Structure 1
Amino acid sequence: MANKTWRKVVVPALCAGILAVTGLVGAATASPSQLPVTLTLPGPTGPHPVGTADLHLVDHSRVDPWAAPPGRPRELMVSLWYPARPAPHRPTRHLTPGVAAFYDQSSGPAGLDPGVADFAGTRTHARPRAAAAPGDRPVVLYSPGGGQSRAFGTTLVEDLASRGFVVVTVDHTFAGPVEFPDRVELPARGVDMALMMRERARDTSFVLDRLREITAGANPDAARRPLPIGVGAALDLSRVGMFGHSMGGFTTAETMLTDQRIDAGANLDGSMDPHYGQASTRGTDRPFLLVGGGTSGADKHPHNHRHAPDWASFWANSSGWKRDLYLPAAEHASFTDAQVLLPQVDRKHALPAEKLVAAIGTVHPGRSLAAQRGYLAAFFGLHLRGQQTNLFDGDSPAHPDVRLIP
């Protein structure tokens, strides 16, 4: 990291999402004799091997509101995850070295002891820049929560790719830690959240524009690093979905207001505060899936459209296909990779029970992940592929932790 520049090291309070998780990890103190916990991501369940490639994109039509020095164009890092041909390469890292170092060194609400978890050593199941498998694929965009890296949705993203989707994960610069080829940018101080939501929606549309260039044979990567063989032919931009966690779910709904290319969207436990966007007051006319867990708000009400005012408004104003799934025993970080990573740390370091429950609830981690993977695949399969399913007709015995909220 000696050749990298670090910027904006202060994390805003509204971006507590994943830092609350890393703060929880830090609540357990490792003795000098203890080695960092080796973290393992569950393998994807679909029939396809998975490839991945990072792209550095520059939007010269926009000035970044938070960049220093002022006047710099908006820059993004995104990753493509896609069905791939078998490849011998070692799977790619879960987090880039700079982002891993950030999570290791940052201080969450409980304080973080560096070295407790081996963030830098965790691997995905995807091969870097492997050739794409033949066939055109629906495209699904992923937007992370505030304070989070795009990598913290990998357990869901890899699974969708293994089932035949191309998934594009987007880091919204200055909303979370982002490693560029020459520097690491961290969350900005004093962000105007309404402006952030508008920029995140614009980021998403910009990424869709660049994907269109790839299908036409162009390479939008700033350094013109070679694209994986066949990835352009794999992108079917006539079938586009989007989902996200927390602020990323809000971003999904907001982007659907301004970009008709997104055919279906899903919000994983994200507030849709009308002070920061219009989704709750305008709704959507396209298919949308709400997925909530545990409680939210000052009065700790169940996070579903029957109790959360912003979700209730969005539900009432949405005229398209819609479903609301509720996991009572889950909590906010259950819809990130923390659902399966934190229990691994807890087994070695005995994390404080109340903090562990506040982060990921009491839901069984394996069942929670299986349910999220199953419902997302069924949702995008239905609306992007026309694959019929009865999974949304009522509560499913296959997923006993999930309630369908009418």
Structure 2
Amino acid sequence: MPPVRPTRRSLMAGGLAAAAAVSLPAPAYASASGPVRLRLAGPTGPFAVGAVELHLVDRSRTDPWSGRPRELMATVVYPAVDVRDRPRLPWLPPGAERALKARYGGALDGYAMPLTHGADGAPVRPGRYPVLLYSPGAASDRTFNTLVVEELVSWGYAVVTVDHPYDSGEVEFPDGRVVLSVGEDSEEEVVAAVAVRAADLRFVLDHLTGPAWGGAPGPGRRRRPRGLRGALDPTRVGAFGHSRGGAAAAALMDLDDRVRAGADLDGTVFGPVVGRGLDRPFLLMDTAEHDGLAKDPHWPEFWRNLRGWRRCLRLADAGHLSFSDIVALAPQLPPGLPLQVGTVPADRAVAAVRAVVRAFFDLQLRGRPDTGLLLRGASARHPEIGYVAG
């Protein structure tokens, strides 16, 4: 779980039938009988979810923190078949989970992090799926938006979540190494970190759609699911992220015309894209506290320079982490943890964010109209989503 105070710096760092409210687990409290397993609601779409982890090394770039070739972890989450009897990937692998608990000084020691609904290495469901790249917030991990990612996959997207070592919270590699976030002290350092993220995402996209994919094994030397590369449609690519990950999505679009649409969930935008803008569709979402077009240091200029379809929406009564899995995990944890989830009910927040992200990419990558008026902030099913500008 990312930093817990809603500061300006944390913001800077940082069809529609499926949109019915999800049922989230009731609060659970740790006991002497053993750790309490936190849970995440399953996706609502018709397709099962498969997942495979990738350990990638970009030997063309030097990691600015380690001085070695840039090394990444990613997960491809995809529509699957025959998921029975397959293990589900954990929300965090063991070493990363221990590191997260250490960051919270024992407050989470009575809890086990959730399992995802991604069946490890399940066969790919035949089809050709739009590809979405996801980047997490600063000091967050690639699994921290599992609720949205799995929802998209269950409705026919392939989503690639990417960790950015030394910027993401705790990144565990197959050999057991865990790399922690180092943080930044200045906006200049944040701008540089966002540029690294954009290059990471571009490298992952190159790997998934180019000849480098091949049949190379992933972590543990297991072969990747047969047919996965052919299921990824390189002509329909989008990118989205939470907090700093939203900035990375915008920066990637500035670098790579293959990315046709992007979304930023409550994150300040950094770097050259602020002044250059974009000529392709881009969605901004914020909270009343952030009020990006009025208070954010960079949103107003970025907004003026957006030349394609654009929209700014707001999640009512939300906090910065209401766009992530933290909003669903917070009610299962002891009262009093200062998590930035606002007062919006967790199930309403999850359903609304899932629905907006899906409606946006359905419109931009699949040409499906926004019949529920969600992208106009006029959805009767999701009154938590309000229109700010467009």
Residues 1:94 and 2:91 aligned together: yes
The answer to whether the Cα contact below 8 Å between 2:174 and 2:220 also exists between their aligned partners in 1 is: no
Match of 2:288? 294
Question: 2-side partners of 1:397 and 1:105: how far apart?
Answer: 43
Residues 1:211 and 2:208 aligned together: yes
Residues 1:74 and 2:55 aligned together: no
Question: 2-side partners of 1:212 and 1:15: how far apart?
Answer: 35
Which of residues 126, 133, 137 is equivalent to 2:129?
137
The answer to whether the Cα contact below 8 Å between 2:95 and 2:178 also exists between their aligned partners in 1 is: yes
Match of 1:262? 259
Match of 2:336? 351
| Range with bigger deviation, 39-48 or 192-201 | 192-201
Residues 1:180 and 2:179 aligned together: no
Q: Structure 1 residues 221, 99: closer, same or farther in 2, change over 3 A? A: same
Q: What secondary structure, in the 3-state scheme, does the structure 2 residue paired with 1:92 have?
A: strand
Aligned-residue CA RMSD in angstroms? 2.4
Match of 2:109? 115
The answer to whether the Cα contact below 8 Å between 1:215 and 1:233 also exists between their aligned partners in 2 is: no
Could you tell me the TM-score, scaled by structure 2's length?
A: 0.86
Question: 1-side partners of 2:91 and 2:118: how far apart?
Answer: 9
- CA drift at 1:305: 2.0
Question: 2-side partners of 1:398 and 1:389: how far apart?
Answer: 13
Which of residues 147, 156, 159 is equivalent to 2:139?
147
Q: Structure 1 residues 395, 198: closer, same or farther in 2, change over 3 A? A: same
Unpaired segments ≥5 residues, structure 1: 1-12, 21-29, 297-302
Q: What secondary structure, in the 3-state scheme, does the structure 2 residue paired with 1:125 have?
A: strand
Q: Structure 1 residues 79, 214: closer, same or farther in 2, change over 3 A? A: farther
Q: 1:277-320: CA deviations, max 9, x gaps?
A: 12322221100110112313xxxxxx232443422211111010
Letter in 2 for 1:393: R
Match of 1:26? none
Q: What secondary structure, in the 3-state scheme, does the structure 2 residue paired with 1:241 have?
A: strand
Superposed, 1:158-237 pairs within 5 Å as: 158-176=150-168, 177-182=170-175, 183-188=177-182, 190=184, 192-213=189-210, 217-219=214-216, 221=218, 225-237=222-234
The answer to whether the Cα contact below 8 Å between 2:348 and 2:384 also exists between their aligned partners in 1 is: yes
Match of 1:83? 79
Question: 1-side partners of 2:235 and 2:44: how far apart?
Answer: 26
The answer to whether the Cα contact below 8 Å between 2:215 and 2:224 also exists between their aligned partners in 1 is: no
Which of residues 363, 368, 378 is equivalent to 1:395?
378
Question: 1-side partners of 2:121 and 2:219: how far apart?
Answer: 16
Match of 1:9? none
Unpaired segments ≥5 residues, structure 2: 1-6, 15-28
Letter in 2 for 1:151: T
Q: Percent identity over the alignment? A: 42
Letter in 1 for 2:380: P
Question: 2-side partners of 1:189 and 1:379: how far apart?
Answer: 32
Q: 1:53-91: CA deviations, max 9, x gaps?
A: 000000011111111xx3x10000000000001222132
Match of 1:241? 238
| Range with bigger deviation, 87-96 or 246-255 | 87-96
Question: 2-side partners of 1:224 and 1:37: how far apart?
Answer: 32
Q: What secondary structure, in the 3-state scheme, does the structure 2 residue paired with 1:132 have?
A: coil
Letter in 2 for 1:187: S
Match of 1:63? 62
Question: 2-side partners of 1:165 and 1:114: how far apart?
Answer: 33
Superposed, 1:330-349 pairs within 5 Å as: 330-345=318-333, 349=334
Question: 2-side partners of 1:73 and 1:223: how far apart?
Answer: 20
Q: Structure 1 residues 99, 31: closer, same or farther in 2, change over 3 A? A: closer
Q: Structure 1 residues 367, 31: closer, same or farther in 2, change over 3 A? A: closer
The answer to whether the Cα contact below 8 Å between 1:294 and 1:361 also exists between their aligned partners in 2 is: no
Could you tell me the TM-score, scaled by structure 1's length?
A: 0.83
Q: How many residues align?
A: 360
Question: 2-side partners of 1:181 and 1:222: how far apart?
Answer: 6
Question: 2-side partners of 1:104 and 1:307: how far apart?
Answer: 33
- CA drift at 1:375: 0.9
Letter in 1 for 2:353: Q
Q: What secondary structure, in the 3-state scheme, does the structure 2 residue paired with 1:314 have?
A: helix
- CA drift at 1:34: 6.7
Q: Structure 1 residues 15, 230: closer, same or farther in 2, change over 3 A? A: farther
Question: 2-side partners of 1:172 and 1:75: how far apart?
Answer: 9
Q: Structure 1 residues 93, 198: closer, same or farther in 2, change over 3 A? A: same
Q: Structure 1 residues 31, 333: closer, same or farther in 2, change over 3 A? A: closer
Q: Structure 1 residues 15, 173: closer, same or farther in 2, change over 3 A? A: farther
- CA drift at 1:395: 1.6
Q: Structure 1 residues 304, 100: closer, same or farther in 2, change over 3 A? A: same
Q: Structure 1 residues 126, 223: closer, same or farther in 2, change over 3 A? A: closer
Match of 1:128? 120
